[in-house]
């Protein structure tokens, strides 16, 4: 049985509304910066960046977000806690979006998010992520810091298929988040590869129907490793990237991690279109109110 609309969680994180019914809010486009091969990242240990390059990419991202009316989060990746903190503070100063505090492990993420609290940026920070291996000690650290926003990563060797991922969330990840007193939970269904993409599609649907939580996934984790498409050139590759991001939106997801922000122009118009179609159906057929009435005007 699907959740009643009133049972679907809707969160306000800084200046975005995420969750609720399909079409209730514009999709949230999550673009990544400072990944390992990002040309703007000059020194990953010290967090030294090419400010001109990243500012150009951010300006393009902001422009297309504003023109399409979708919402945005920046995924900030760091391989060292000091560098990650420095990168987050810089991005927070450049753009007025929430951001993912994203590192390979808690030894990187937790010191960085502690520094963000000290910098007055905790309200905009989203821990990425709490997973099966997050320790009791680190949950208490998150509680002490006062972290309120976090991604739950539905990944584990014993949790591959949709129903298994739901069990992981119900039995392990959500209880962990409650112990850390996290208030706003975003579910990442954990993409492994292209053939398993429909596992994420079905998992996302189950998350909405059984748990009522905001959900999304990262098709970028699979599509950018697809070598075969590259033989057809950049236009075909862009089309393939856009189509698989639409797969995520069509699952009823609240957010999509589309990869490097430099691909924003390739991806965002398509996901904005599907999001707009969902909003139009909600307004015209279901006769339900939109939270963002300007969205449809920008899309259509």
Task: Give the tens place of pLDDT for each residue, 112-121.
Answer: 999 999 999 9
Output the pLDDT for position 3: 58
The band of 294, judged by pLDDT with boundaries at 50, 70 and 90, is: confident
Q: How confident is the model at residue 292 (pLDDT cuts 50, 70, 90)?
A: confident
pLDDT at 1: 35
> What integer pLDDT is reported at residue 221 of this predicted model?
85
Distance CA 208, CA 20 (A): 9
Whether residue 199 contacts residue 161, with contact meaning beta carbons closer than 8 Å, is answered with yes
- Greatest Cα pair distance, the chain, in angstroms, is 53
Burial code (b: 16+ CB inside 10 Å, e: under 16) for 168-191 equals bbeebbbebbeebebebbbbbbbb
Averaged pLDDT of the chain: 95
pLDDT value, residue 273: 96
What is the reported pTM? 0.96
Q: Domains in the chain and their CATH numbers?
A: 5-288 (3.20.20.20)
Report yes or no: 221 and 174 within 8 Å, Cβ to Cβ. Answer: no
Whether pLDDT at 233 is above 60: yes
Q: Which pLDDT does position 197 carry in this prediction?
A: 94
> For 256-281, what is the mean pLDDT?
96
């Amino acid at each position: 049985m699907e959740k009643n609309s009133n049972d679907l969680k809707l969160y306000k994180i800084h200046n975005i509304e995420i969750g609720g019914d399909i079409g209730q809010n514009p999709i949230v486009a999550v673009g990544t910066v400072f990944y390992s091969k990002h040309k703007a990242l000059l020194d990953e240990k010290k967090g030294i960046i090419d400010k001109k390059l990243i500012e150009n990419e951010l300006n393009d991202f902001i422009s297309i977000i504003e023109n399409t009316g979708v919402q945005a989060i920046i995924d900030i990746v760091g391989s060292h806690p000091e560098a990650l903190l420095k990168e987050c503070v810089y991005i927070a100063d450049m753009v007025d979006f929430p951001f993912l505090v994203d590192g390979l492990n808690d030894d990187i993420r937790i010191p960085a998010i502690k520094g963000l609290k000290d910098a007055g940026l905790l309200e905009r920070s989203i821990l990425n992520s709490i997973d099966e291996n997050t320790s009791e000690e680190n949950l208490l650290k998150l509680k002490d810091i006062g972290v309120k926003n976090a991604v739950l990563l539905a990944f584990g060797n014993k949790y591959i298929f949709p129903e298994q991922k739901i069990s992981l969330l119900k039995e392990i990840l959500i209880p962990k988040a409650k112990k850390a007193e996290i208030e706003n939970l975003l579910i990442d269904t954990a993409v492994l590869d292209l053939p398993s993409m429909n596992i994420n599609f079905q998992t996302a649907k189950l998350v909405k129907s059984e748990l009522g939580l905001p959900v999304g996934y990262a098709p970028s984790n699979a599509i950018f490793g697809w070598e075969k498409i590259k033989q057809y050139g950049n236009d075909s590759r862009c089309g393939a990237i856009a189509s698989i991001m639409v797969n995520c939106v069509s699952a009823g997801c609240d957010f999509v991690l589309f990869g490097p922000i430099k691909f924003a122009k390739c991806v965002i118009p398509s996901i904005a279109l599907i999001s707009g179609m969902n909003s139009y159906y909600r307004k015209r057929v279901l006769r339900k109110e939109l939270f963002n009435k300007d969205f449809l005007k920008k899309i259509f």
